[in-house]
Structure 1
Amino acid sequence: MKIQPIFQILYELQNKTSLKGRWYDKNDGHSIDGVLELDNSKVIYALPAEYKKEIKPFHLIALKDLKETNKNLIVLSEQIFPTIRDRLREMGINYIDSTGNCFIQINDWHFLIDGLRAPSKKSVQKNGFTRTGLILAFHFLNDENYLNTTYRQIAEDYKISLGNVNKIINSLKEQNYIAKGKNKTLRIINRDKLLEQWILEYDEKLKPTLFLGEFRFINEYAKDWTKVPLGVNSQWGGEPAGDLLTNYLQPAELTLYTKENSMDLIKKLKIAPGKGNLKIYSRFWMFNDKRPNVVPTILVYADLVNTGDPRNIETAKMLIDGLFRD
């Protein structure tokens, strides 16, 4: 546990609210990181506490589970983005960040400070998580054997240079995501961490480049998306895929991945560009899918958790329960 960032978070909390905080590590096998005592000079509350350097949408699944067994859970983090703060409040989870944003609701305590911004930080881009690196990493995560395909074949499959393939794989090695096994073949190690990082980077770097547009149905499919004739070149992602796989979610936003161009889809599906609930993205992977009408589960999971929506998060949890536990 990194105590210094926690001290900084508690220092900002006291500056903004006058609440004094004391952190106690838990090293007895409990599922939480520690206990946070908050003191307003009249009463002291001891809260089950969790620390994360930065809270990402996929963390909300684990935090939701912790909240169920730790009523007054509070999360300390160096950075919590505005949309995540909104979701935490909706879930009834207390939080504090290092800039002084906080939400604390316990008995007669009601603290809410929002809108404070942390200074921006420049990040170094790793080759394994460039746009092309993310595409290859997705293939590796879905088919680990593809790691041992010749570089020439990978370059041919994805229309990239041999040098780029080499840089991407070496970068993943350097970051301790892949390594050679006993038989000298490459394999994925730290799979959960690689998948966690991929989901984050995908939403920020790759998905926006795949966006073909927003559309609306102008026929009977507007009332029943399940009757849309996708054909062999298009598959549901996001909410509709989550519904098809779990029968739990009523999709509000439709996500479609396709090999076809926008004009062909407009004619085929009878859709019109403009504000609507259908968002279409280019398909980016070069392997055969297990299901003809739904994208790979990892991508469904990423689409769902990156929305930050509680219902989508519950659905994602059904798909890969227990995958993220750090």
Structure 2
Amino acid sequence: MIKKHQILESAVENLRNQCQRIRVEVCPQFNWDCDGLIEISGIQFRCEIKQYVKSSHIPSIINQCKRDGTNLLVAEYISRTSMERLVEQDINVLDTSGNCFIEITDRLFIHITGNKKILSEKEKGMNFKISGIKVLFSILTLEDEQIPSIRNLASKSGSSNGTVKHVIDVLESNGYIFSSGKNKFIKDRERLLEDWVSLFNRSQRSALQIGRASWIISNKEWQKVSLPEGMIWGGDPGAYLMNGYMTPAEFCIYTELPVREIVKTKAMVPNKEGDIIFYQKFWEGKLSELGSAILFYADLINQNNSRCLEAARKIRDERLTYTK
């Protein structure tokens, strides 16, 4: 509760500083049927308080807020797209940077955007480049909690020993892993997974995009396509092949080959305006079942629509068992 109280106080203070003509106060609570109460311009709001709001959390947050009668979600950080989806469901939002969308019909309307989250030194340390992303991915695909030696992890991820050591040091300082004697172990896979997905989609996905292609055949016949060795389906089709849950609507391919090799399928042709996206393969060797689940989960989260988020939740619950 101390952390939640700090988030609420910080959010209220920043909102108050930006809306100096509006009275904003934290109210005392006499029963604990919600995380907090605040009053804005004489209107009381029941608050649900979170540290981070990520795309994968949206469906459960919407259900929880509507079930509990919450009318203001307060968080340390809420992405812009997450804010938009929550507002569409009539849930008011406020973060600790002072960004908000708060509306009570004919009584109150406050909309503030563009305030940047100030990163702590630890959070800045987690802003890895692609080599660090590869190391994190390799750690997430480990079958047990023990982290191999720096040399072995460097070989597994295709990174240098120096990069691996830096990543391990940052993870340890941020509480993702811990030491026991000479060995290191993963402490919080769920948090590491969610933060890797967010970091990958936010800062490195676009750097890995190497081209596009267009369909020659109908995209409904995609399962008839035999991809060249060195290419695999990602996103919707990858997820479909894993669990058959969602009929693909968007298509992406991970490849270690030039995009032009796709003509061998006689189903696609390179086209910089095409709707099939190609990403450079960033892992070593063949992708494991666990690695595939993590990759497809990240792809679906990146699309940020209700259809893909539900498919991502299904993969997380069925294939990424450490997140339960």
Question: Residue 308 of structure 2 aligns with which residue?
Answer: 312
Question: Residue 132 of structure 1 aligns with which residue?
Answer: 131
Which of 274, 284, 294 is the equivalent residue of 1:298? 294
In 1, distance between residues paired with 2:29 and 2:286?
Answer: 47
Residue 257 of structure 2: SS of its match in structure 1?
coil
TM-score normalised over the length of structure 1: 0.79
In 2, distance between residues paired with 1:50 and 1:26?
Answer: 16
Question: Residue 261 of structure 2 aligns with which residue?
Answer: 264
Distance 1:318 1:274, change over 3 A: same
For 2:222, the aligned partner's letter is W
Cα distance, 1:84 vs structure 2: 2.6
Higher RCO (CA 8 Å, separation ≥ 6 residues): 1
Distance 1:93 1:227, change over 3 A: farther
Residue 118 of structure 1: SS of its match in structure 2?
coil
For 2:208, the aligned partner's letter is L
In 2, distance between residues paired with 1:105 and 1:246?
Answer: 40
Cα distance, 1:238 vs structure 2: 1.9
Cα distance, 1:215 vs structure 2: 2.1
Question: Residue 37 of structure 2 aligns with which residue?
Answer: 36
Residue 129 of structure 1: SS of its match in structure 2?
coil
In 1, distance between residues paired with 2:322 and 2:210?
Answer: 31
Q: Which runs of 5+ in 1 are unaligned?
A: none
Distance 1:10 1:164, change over 3 A: closer
Question: Residue 283 of structure 1 aligns with which residue?
Answer: 281
Question: Residue 103 of structure 1 aligns with which residue?
Answer: 101
Question: Residue 162 of structure 2 aligns with which residue?
Answer: 163
In 1, distance between residues paired with 2:126 and 2:87?
Answer: 36
In 2, distance between residues paired with 1:35 and 1:113?
Answer: 21
Counting helix residues as a fraction of each chain, which structure ranks higher?
2
Residue 297 of structure 1: SS of its match in structure 2?
helix
Residue 113 of structure 1: SS of its match in structure 2?
strand
Distance 1:89 1:249, change over 3 A: farther
Is 1:228 aligned to residue 225 of structure 2?
A: yes
Question: Residue 236 of structure 2 aligns with which residue?
Answer: 239
Which of 83, 86, 96 is the equivalent residue of 2:84? 86
Which of 12, 27, 35 is the equivalent residue of 1:7? 12
Structure 1 contact 96–103 (Cα < 8 Å) conserved: yes
Q: Which runs of 5+ in 2 are unaligned?
A: none
In 2, distance between residues paired with 1:107 and 1:89?
Answer: 13
Cα distance, 1:146 vs structure 2: 9.0
Distance 1:158 1:248, change over 3 A: closer
Cα distance, 1:286 vs structure 2: 2.2
Structure 2 contact 62–86 (Cα < 8 Å) conserved: no
| Residue correspondences, number | 313
Question: Residue 271 of structure 2 aligns with which residue?
Answer: 273
Q: Which moved more, 1:169-178 or 1:18-27?
A: 18-27
